[in-house]
Chain A
Amino acid sequence: GENVEQHPSTLSVQEGDSAVIKCTYSDSASNYFPWYKQELGKRPQLIIDIRSNVGEKKDQRIAVTLNKTAKHFSLHITETQPEDSAVYFCAVKKTSYDKVIFGPGTSLSVIP
């Protein structure tokens, strides 16, 4: 089945620095790549997503880049703030009707 790896598992940065989280996947048929943020005790929520026909997408301080050839995609957070502290999950999906498989998560701590 689909395998999604995510690195690093924990990440600590100083406020204002950038954070990068990378995911790799195994199924080349994957076409949709979302990122979810889960704050402590809360539900996961979508923060950004990218489709296979796009190489990069940006939304304010958050960006995602996709390399389909290498089968990896990354989340970039610039000018980190304490409220960015959370667990971030990458995920992959093939078609609208398919299951969404999540990576193991990255715990991000932003130190004030």
Chain B
Amino acid sequence: DSGVTQTPKHLITATGQRVTLRCSPRSGDLSVYWYQQSLDQGLQFLIQYYNGEERAKGNILERFSAQQFPDLHSELNLSSLELGDSALYFCASSVVTSGRITGELFFGEGSRLTVL
């Protein structure tokens, strides 16, 4: 168990719909990352938050948005869903320590989204 909790584990929905994926990071981790993993594909970076603020953006579609709340949990919102959005969405958290590069990402189990 990595300590990162993602809900829901599985989600089936129709094209055009909107869904929200939720992530609770490990206790004390300030940085949260979202990655998309399509079938037989790699880990595509979507977005990173640090202590409530957006830190970096990857190839995240305009239909997708995210935020990190004061309690450090994060939500990824996917709207106007298309068939191609079907994927495994991972959340990861990491400790950030000034003065020393740290970087181990602790991944949740992922949320598998199926768009029909």
Q: Is B43 in contact with A97, judged by CB distance below 8 angstroms?
A: no
The residues of A with any CB-CB pair to B shorter than 8 Å are: 31-32, 34, 36, 43-46, 49, 51, 89, 93, 95-105
Q: Identify whether the interface residues of B are mostly helix, strand, loop, or mixed.
A: loop
The residues of B with any CB-CB pair to A shorter than 8 Å are: 2, 31, 33, 35, 41-43, 45, 48, 50, 55-56, 58, 90, 94, 96-98, 100-105, 107-110
Knowing that A43-B109, A97-B50, A100-B94 touch, tell me 8 more A-B residue pairs with CB under 8 angstroms. Answer: A89-B42, A93-B103, A97-B96, A100-B105, A101-B58, A102-B35, A105-B42, A105-B43
Chain B residues within 8 Å of A95, by CB: 101
CA distance A46 to B95 in the complex (A): 14
B97: contacting residue among A46, A96, A105, CB under 8 A: A96
Question: Given A43-B90, A43-B109, A43-B110 in contact, is the A102-B45 Cβ separation under 8 Å?
Answer: yes
Question: Given A31-B101, A43-B90 in contact, is the A103-B107 Cβ separation under 8 Å?
Answer: no
Chain A residues within 8 Å of B48, by CB: 99
Chain B residues within 8 Å of A96, by CB: 96-98, 100-103
Chain B residues within 8 Å of A100, by CB: 33, 45, 94, 103, 105
Q: Is A43 in contact with B55, judged by CB distance below 8 angstroms?
A: no
Q: Is B101 in contact with A99, judged by CB distance below 8 angstroms?
A: no
Q: Is B104 in contact with A46, judged by CB distance below 8 angstroms?
A: yes
Q: Is B103 in contact with A32, judged by CB distance below 8 angstroms?
A: yes
Question: Given A46-B105, A51-B101, A103-B42 in contact, is the A98-B110 Cβ separation under 8 Å?
Answer: no
Q: Is B108 in contact with A43, judged by CB distance below 8 angstroms?
A: yes
CA distance A31 to B101 in the complex (A): 8
Q: Is A99 in contact with B55, judged by CB distance below 8 angstroms?
A: yes
B45: contacting residue among A32, A97, A101, CB under 8 A: A101
Chain B residues within 8 Å of A43, by CB: 2, 90, 107-110
